[in-house]
Amino acid sequence: MLTILLPPSPPCVYFSACHGAVRAMSRSQATKLWQGKTLVDQLAAQGIIIRSPSMRGVAEEAPLAYKDVSARIGPDWSR
């Protein structure tokens, strides 16, 4: 499960993202296309900080390894 912590007005709320069903490729395919350290640096440049004990794990979870979630679950999923 992928958990995202957002800082709304108190208290902070955890949100979960769809996981698995929206993969565009396998984890092994992702590790052949991306390197974890490169992804960490690219995402940091966009203000997204990744903390992981495994750079392979970061590569497995590369953003482009997933389909567009909004296309998968629809635009009104949060209602």
pLDDT in tens, 19-66: 556 789 999 999 999 999 999 999 999 988 888 999 999 999 998 998
Residue 16 has pLDDT above 90, yes or no: no
Place of tokens 């929206």: 22
Q: What is the pLDDT of residue 11?
A: 52
Can the peptide bond before residue 11 be classed as cis, meaning omega within 30 degrees of 0? yes
Return the domain boundaries, the chain: 23-71
To the query of whether residue 13 is one of the catalytic residues in this protein, the response is: no
Q: Please tell me which residue in 13, 17, 19, 77 is annotated as part of the active site.
A: 19
Q: How many CB atoms lie within 10 A of CB 66?
A: 20
Q: What is the pLDDT of residue 13?
A: 47
Q: What is the pLDDT of residue 31?
A: 96
